[in-house]
Amino acid sequence: MIHTHTALAAHHPPSGRITLHPGPGTTSETGLAHDLLAALGKPPLLPGRFPAGRQPAWEAATSWVTALPVNRLTVLRAHRLTARRTGRLLRLRALTGIHLTLVCHRPHLPAALHQALQRADYAITAEFQAARRHYYGTTAPVPPPADEPAQPTDRWLTLPALERLVSYDSPTPCTALCTPPPITFRHRPPPTPFTGQTAREATRRLAAATAHPRLAAALAAALFTGASFQQLATARPSDYDDAAATLALHDRARYTDGCATYRVPPWARVFL
């Protein structure tokens, strides 16, 4: 019980700690991914239709763990995990480098868990103080700033892109090598830069509104570019420069500003 309470109390995503309590009554791998998305503060379901009816829940969870400052994942009820579910968690660890703690509520490892761990480097401890110090984390949750009033949740964030849902914007990127210059707003006003408080509110809402990483990235890009959704569709993975914090969008027909590069503000980089 003390391990369970400590692991649940350590759950604090802003500090990089996630505690996953798998829902009982299912052995579904997708269900475990939905539980992980919920632990990350995301809605557990993804919008849209997908091939063969399978939601890319593990892909979404892996993307968020990679992008967010999350470095510890504690999984309760690990003795109930199937070998396939444990394998999913171990692959998540291999892809993201997250520190994984499996809490087994039994004196010995079940056969399925023991078999899955044969392919991983792991350590076992039953001593509580060592587990709390090395696995659960001891950092106290960070309280919200006292000088900022609570923000209402029923107000909309203005999307300038909604003013430009025009049919002649091409959703096709340039086929040849294209290095767009910095954006020069000629035919439309630039989006108003966010204040610090508005940026924090936008980040909070985008993080909590959808579990789909691509949709969150598109909404964030719409906020700081003011581009239409058709033009946002021209962005390829190579058009985002993480080191320079820039995003290139394409406009081969030069209907608006032509191909151009936009600066990505700090609040939006986690989504890109």
pLDDT for the residue 198: 86
Same domain assignment for residues 92 and 188: no
Return the structure tokens found at 66: 């990679």
Q: Which domain holds residue 248?
A: 160-268
pLDDT for the residue 271: 94
Which residues in the chain show pLDDT less than 50? 154
The pTM score is 0.82
Same domain assignment for residues 172 and 115: no
CB 57 within 8 A of CB 65: no
Same domain assignment for residues 9 and 126: yes
Q: Rounded to whole angstroms, how far apart are CA atoms 21 and 7?
A: 10
Question: Which ranges in the chain belong to alpha helices (H)?
Answer: 2-9, 29-39, 57-67, 83-96, 111-117, 128-131, 196-209, 213-225, 229-232
Same domain assignment for residues 192 and 245: yes
pLDDT for the residue 168: 62
pLDDT for the residue 74: 94
Q: Which residues pair with 72 in a beta bridge?
A: 17, 99
Please report the DSSP string for 51-81 in residue order.
GGG---HHHHHHHHHHHTT--EEEES-GGG-
Domain count, the chain: 2
Whether residue 43 lies inside any domain: the answer is yes
Same domain assignment for residues 72 and 114: yes
Whether residue 144 lies inside any domain: the answer is no
Whether residue 250 lies inside any domain: the answer is yes
